[in-house]
Amino acid sequence: MPQLTCTIDRNKVLGEGGNSVVYAGTYGTSQVAIKTFKKAAGKIGDELMKAIEKEATLAAQLRHPNIATFWGECVDPLSNDRVLVFEKLGKSVYDAIHENLPPSVATRNKWLLDTAHALYYLHSQDPPIIHRDLKPDNILLGVYCP
């Protein structure tokens, strides 16, 4: 697994769940998404490290145009914790729905089909991969544009 040198921008939270927080960051000159893990999420020490390793190993195997690309791992210089680095994508479906005018039916259908393709890919793995937190906030659109 590649060990990356990255910088985390803790002022730019891209998303947050029960077990993790995703921040904007950089890897070299590239803008990336950096997933950090909450220690108070019920796992500590070796158990947390095993969960992070499992997620990293799984993410490294996924190759699909509708799933964010895993770049590798780095160590958070602030906490010395292991974090995961992903391709940074655009806004979420939730954000897009709540901006200005509602998206067209054709646009919404494309989002639906892209999501279905990604889920089909995940569910076709051996063993099947279940997302467990599918919601408009977690469906990201297109390429990140600074």
- DSSP annotation of 67 reads S
Mean pLDDT of 79-84: 89
Q: Is 110 annotated as a binding residue?
A: no
Average pLDDT, the chain: 88
Residue whose pair of structure tokens reads 């220690």 in the numeric block? 39
The pLDDT of residue 59 is 95
Asked if residue 129 lies in contact with residue 123, where contact means CB atoms within 8 angstroms, the answer is yes
Asked if residue 107 lies in contact with residue 101, where contact means CB atoms within 8 angstroms, the answer is no
The pLDDT of residue 26 is 93
146 pLDDT more than 60:
no
Pairing between β-strand 30-37 and β-strand 20-27 as defined by DSSP bridges: antiparallel
The pLDDT of residue 2 is 57
SS3 99: coil
The residues assigned a catalytic role are: 133
* CATH superfamily entry for domain 6-138: Transferase(Phosphotransferase) domain 1 (1.10.510.10)
Concatenated DSSP letters for 16-50?
Answer: E-SSEEEEEEEETTEEEEEEEE-TTSS--HHHHHH
Closest CA to 66 of 84, 93, 85, 96: 93
